A and B are shown apart, each in its own frame.
Chain A
Amino acid sequence: MRSLTHLERLEAESIHIMREVVAEAANPVMLYSVGKDSAVMLHLARKAFYPSPPPFPLLHVDTTWKFRDMYALREKAAKDAGMELLVWQNPEAIERGINPFDHGALHTDMWKTEGLKQALNHYGFDAAFGGARRDEEKSRAKERIFSFRTASHGWDPKSQRPEVWNLYNARKAKGESIRVFPLSNWTELDIWQYIMAENIEIVPLYLAAPRPTVERDGMLLMVDDGRFPLEDGEEPVLRSIRFRTLGCYPLTGAVESKADTLSAVVQEMLMTTTSERQGRTIDKDEGGAGMEKKKQEGYF
């Protein structure tokens, strides 16, 4: 008799979910954002289908404004897993030069929300894995593992299907699609523990190191390349920082930290008093309902 640990049970559940999708969907894809949750999700996919490579491609909905370290790991991770990597950049956003400095919320809308819809339509994917977790944010606590989207990628909280036992109803009409969240029941601490236990490669930005930064509106931003427009008299300052979440570098706040090992990061996390998404500006829009509204519009 052997009692499975919580990580073993979470792993088994995630693998079960991925296999169900591959068995029932016509054209699945894994959304890969290069963050730590994506890294865990990709690792689980390799486990689920071993010795086969995962039988679907990775899709990165790119904004051209990610950290340079993220682009480097993206290529390597896909190669290590033996998977095809698809990169989608919204052509309209390229043409109009949409960027986080001049366009604010439009930046996320055009590159990410619109870009994702375009990519799913372009390739005709009917199921997309995402790395979201229920513990991240309030409106996610009620999200299903299989989340249904209309043909226009809308999310209607009232038409979601009950999920009983581990039976997932993956049937859908033509044009409709599902977003599948195999990490739904993982917490942030689970993710870190699993990364440590399984030795999963993550972007070095999660660990503290001296990096060039400026302070804007109370947020510590990293000057990752020459496109960062410095204001008059503004000088990047070298600070020891790390990131709790990774997105577009001009929109992602860093925390000052000396935690340069995984266990030190977890130590800081356990002793900290602010929640994970606080470093991102997206949840603060539209009052408390920011994420829910974005989801209805088709954001992940």
Chain B
Amino acid sequence: MADSSNIASTASSPSGSAYQTDALIAEDIDAYLDQHQNKGLLRFITCGSVDDGKSTLIGRLLYDSKMIFEDQLAALEADSKRVGTQGQDIDFALLVDGLAAEREQGITIDVAYRFFATEKRKFIVADTPGHEQYTRNMVTGASTADLAVILVDARKGVLVQTRRHSYIAHLLGIRHIVLAVNKMDLVDYDQQVFDRIVTDYTAFASSIGVDAFTAIPLSGFKGDNIASAPSASTPWYSGPSLIAHLEQVELANVAAQDGPFRLPVQWVNRPNLDFRGFSGLIASGTVKPGDGVRIVPSGRTSTVKSIVTFDGELEEAVAGQSVTLTLEDEVDCSRGDVIGAAEDPPQSSDQFEATLVWMSDEALKPGRGYWLKLASQQVTATVQEPKYEINVNTMAQLAAKTLELNSIGVAEIHTERPITFEPYDRSRALGGFILVDKITNATVGAGLLHFSLRRAQNVHWQPTEITRDDHASLKNQKARVLWFTGLSGSGKSTIANEVEKRLNVMNRHTFLLDGDNVRHGLNKDLGFTEADRIENIRRVGEVAKLMSDAGLIVLTAFISPFRAERDMVRGMIADTEFIEIYVETPLAVAEARDVKGLYKKARSGQLKNFTGIDSPYEAPQDPEIRVNTVEMSVEDAADYIIQRILPLK
């Protein structure tokens, strides 16, 4: 990097027309504000490392549009001398690297957002510098971007990282790619160098499906082709300047208006009994009063009555606006539902193929239940073993059992109930999702739905007339799932049996699902590996859910050693109906009892993956009911449980 005074002096008198606003600000501020009231907004991402001159480029964009004030520049100069890596020169990376922890370690661990404006548009730049965490950060920044600026050092040409950046940008659905061939000043503005890089990149781009991009020869440092083009040094270049291009590309929210109407419902607005509005951000299409709509997944149809806003009712609303709709009919509609165009409603499914980007230190666990959030829907989802992992440098497909931090792969996703979606390449809002760990609550992955694996894509969820409440009330009871968990030999089955006998005497309709019995039939194809144990519990959860839908009080007696799977079942069952009962028995006591002789076998190594011996038991942290079989007899425990679950009407 050359001397800092050079940067400041060229930047303070930008050559292009994009920023020539000072006169208007001084002379007629109202005219200026009027002009700026109606700008569009473009979000873009810059990809590249400090070596590519990215920070210098961003620094210049900010400086030229007066987003760096003199006091910040003074602080930057002081910081550059103190901790900078550019000797006595200005280190623009310091402007971009915000956190003290990062500065001390000399790494950037995150995505920073920068803001600047020109005459025509406002810009939000997602800046994702980075090293190890690159994939995760770039995916985050790219997810909201309409355009990607991929920086290439003219001296180095298309590198592995150029491919990686381009692949991720394309994967995340960015339709506008700018190949910014930077540092042209260091190759004497040689057209042949530029042309060769463009040729190399064209070949690669078409191999990953990028059919159009805009290549611009730049010098972020000298300012060539940033604000105006062609610069005196590149008379051979006939394309737009970077700024001119950023000002004219089509905005994603305009493109989204072309799609069918979709409103994911975030919140139901009920100020009083006479008003019921459905609030959300329009994901695609447009809507007018009188339009026919279908609510998915229920399948009910109605007509839009009004578009209500604080500023009065609207004649029409478009993709990108946050609105509240009222409907002509009293239909069931709540958070998570999607209101769609009646003639072209979105699909629902519970099995998908998706690309996953793993964002957590803890690797993906196939079969485990994670929270999946898509638009305003939240469900439990499991990921199957990946079909393959993608090497983001070579695009090669590799065999994989799991996905580690920063890896990208393709896998099947199963959700515990159908979700309403669009393929990601049609809708980011209804095709992008995150996965959340149920115990740590961390966001562990981001995913892109491609298609449903069900053939019956056009089968909408059939609204049934007899509800689960109808089933239960006919039986004169409330449905419940009493989920007994504990070590082998803790007394789960015995106590559950005792509880069922008492309920039977009380004329309650019950059913007891026992671990051993289920393994003779429904689950006889499953063994005792971690993955099989997870599937065992998932199936039992599904059966318990069906039975509770039928109005029964279901008792289950399974070791169910993993907290995540118990929580998965809890997520399937209606609120307040799932009652976790921890049958607490110290390992030593259960082992001493050893009713089935299993502990003995496990200790001698004849039995593998035995809970408590060589496979963990994760005790419930906050069960609804806890019974200690050392202190309580079977009868006392049963009485206590009955007393805790009453009333059941």
| A288 CB within 8 Å of chain B | yes
B33 is contacted by which of A6, A172, A193 (Cβ under 8 Å)? A193
Across the interface, which residues of A come within 8 angstroms of B183, CB to CB?
none
The size class of the interface chain B forms with chain A is 35 or more
Does the CB pair B269–A49 fall under 8 Å? yes
Does the CB pair B257–A2 fall under 8 Å? yes
Residue of B nearest to A51 (CB): B271
Residue of A nearest to B26 (CB): A271
Listed residue (A10, A196, A266) with the most chain B CB atoms within 10 angstroms of its CB: A266
With A19-B266, A47-B309, A274-B70 already in contact, the answer to whether A142 and B111 are too (CB < 8 A) is yes
| B428 CB within 8 Å of chain A | yes
Complex CA–CA separation, A139 to B102 (angstroms): 11
Across the interface, which residues of A come within 8 angstroms of B335, CB to CB?
23
Residue of A nearest to B271 (CB): A52
With A2-B257, A9-B41 already in contact, the answer to whether A196 and B33 are too (CB < 8 A) is yes
In the complex, which residues 75-131 of chain B have their Cβ closer than 8 Å to any Cβ of chain A? 75, 79, 95, 98-101, 109-115, 117, 121-122, 124
B140 is contacted by which of A13, A163, A270 (Cβ under 8 Å)? A163
Does the CB pair A164–B432 fall under 8 Å? yes
From A33-41, A67-75, A154-162, A245-253, the one touching the partner chain is A154-162
Across the interface, which residues of B come within 8 angstroms of A270, CB to CB?
25, 29, 32, 66
| B308 CB within 8 Å of chain A | yes
Across the interface, which residues of B come within 8 angstroms of A141, CB to CB?
98, 112-114
Q: A-facing mask of B260-291, CB < 8 A → 1, else 0?
A: 00000011011100010101110000000000
Minimum CB–CB distance for A255 against chain B, Å? 13
| B517 CB within 8 Å of chain A | no
With A50-B324, A165-B432, A166-B144 already in contact, the answer to whether A273 and B271 are too (CB < 8 A) is no
Does the CB pair A4–B320 fall under 8 Å? yes
Residue of B nearest to A162 (CB): B140
Across the interface, which residues of B come within 8 angstroms of A197, CB to CB?
37
| B36 CB within 8 Å of chain A | yes
Does the CB pair B71–A9 fall under 8 Å? no
B308 is contacted by which of A11, A51, A142 (Cβ under 8 Å)? A51
Complex CA–CA separation, A202 to B99 (angstroms): 32
Does the CB pair B267–A23 fall under 8 Å? yes
A267 is contacted by which of B29, B140, B267, B322 (Cβ under 8 Å)? B29
B443 is contacted by which of A2, A46, A161 (Cβ under 8 Å)? A161
In the complex, which residues 125-146 of chain B have their Cβ closer than 8 Å to any Cβ of chain A? 136-137, 139-140, 143-144
Listed residue (B38, B267, B269, B446) with the most chain A CB atoms within 10 angstroms of its CB: B267
Across the interface, which residues of B come within 8 angstroms of A58, CB to CB?
none
Across the interface, which residues of A come within 8 angstroms of B101, CB to CB?
157-158
In the complex, which residues 44-87 of chain A have their Cβ closer than 8 Å to any Cβ of chain B? 46-53
Minimum CB–CB distance for A188 against chain B, Å? 9
Across the interface, which residues of B come within 8 angstroms of A139, CB to CB?
98-100
Minimum CB–CB distance for A175 against chain B, Å? 12
| A26 CB within 8 Å of chain B | no
Across the interface, which residues of B come within 8 angstroms of A187, CB to CB?
115, 117, 122
Does the CB pair A275–B71 fall under 8 Å? yes
| A138 CB within 8 Å of chain B | yes
In the complex, which residues 279-296 of chain A have their Cβ closer than 8 Å to any Cβ of chain B? 288-289, 292-293
Does the CB pair A4–B140 fall under 8 Å? no
| B433 CB within 8 Å of chain A | yes
Does the CB pair A165–B143 fall under 8 Å? yes
From B44-52, B297-305, B434-442, B558-566, the one touching the partner chain is B434-442
Does the CB pair A185–B113 fall under 8 Å? yes
With A5-B38, A162-B140 already in contact, the answer to whether A169 and B434 are too (CB < 8 A) is yes
| A92 CB within 8 Å of chain B | no
Does the CB pair A142–B267 fall under 8 Å? no
Complex CA–CA separation, A50 to B308 (angstroms): 8
Does the CB pair A4–B318 fall under 8 Å? yes
| A8 CB within 8 Å of chain B | yes
Does the CB pair B322–A15 fall under 8 Å? yes
Complex CA–CA separation, A6 to B117 (angstroms): 11
Complex CA–CA separation, A263 to B34 (angstroms): 11
Minimum CB–CB distance for A17 against chain B, Å? 10
With A3-B251, A6-B40, A12-B281 already in contact, the answer to whether A165 and B429 are too (CB < 8 A) is yes
| A278 CB within 8 Å of chain B | yes
Complex CA–CA separation, A7 to B320 (angstroms): 12
Minimum CB–CB distance for A145 against chain B, Å? 10
Listed residue (B33, B139, B309) with the most chain A CB atoms within 10 angstroms of its CB: B33
Across the interface, which residues of A come within 8 angstroms of B72, CB to CB?
275
Does the CB pair B75–A288 fall under 8 Å? yes
| A179 CB within 8 Å of chain B | no
Does the CB pair A22–B267 fall under 8 Å? yes
Across the interface, which residues of B come within 8 angstroms of A49, CB to CB?
269, 279
Does the CB pair A16–B281 fall under 8 Å? yes
Does the CB pair A164–B446 fall under 8 Å? yes
| A20 CB within 8 Å of chain B | yes
| B503 CB within 8 Å of chain A | no
Across the interface, which residues of B come within 8 angstroms of A50, CB to CB?
308-310, 324
Across the interface, which residues of A come within 8 angstroms of B324, CB to CB?
50
| Interchain residue pairs with CB less than 8 A apart (15) | A6-B122, A16-B266, A48-B279, A51-B271, A52-B271, A138-B98, A141-B113, A142-B98, A158-B101, A165-B428, A167-B434, A184-B113, A185-B115, A270-B32, A273-B71
- Since A15-B322, A189-B36, A263-B29 are in contact, a sample of 14 more A-B pairs with Cβ atoms closer than 8 Å, ordered by chain A residue number, is A1-B254, A3-B254, A49-B269, A51-B271, A157-B99, A157-B109, A164-B139, A165-B428, A165-B432, A165-B446, A167-B434, A171-B441, A267-B25, A270-B66
Q: List the 9 closest A-B pairs by CB distance, nearest first.
A: A6-B41, A15-B322, A267-B29, A52-B271, A50-B310, A47-B310, A289-B100, A6-B122, A275-B69
Chain B residues within 8 Å of A, Cβ to Cβ: 22, 25-26, 29-30, 32-33, 36-41, 66-67, 69-72, 75, 79, 95, 98-101, 109-115, 117, 121-122, 124, 136-137, 139-140, 143-144, 251, 253-254, 257, 266-267, 269-271, 275, 277, 279-281, 308-311, 318, 320-322, 324, 335, 359, 371, 373-376, 428-429, 432-434, 436, 441-443, 446
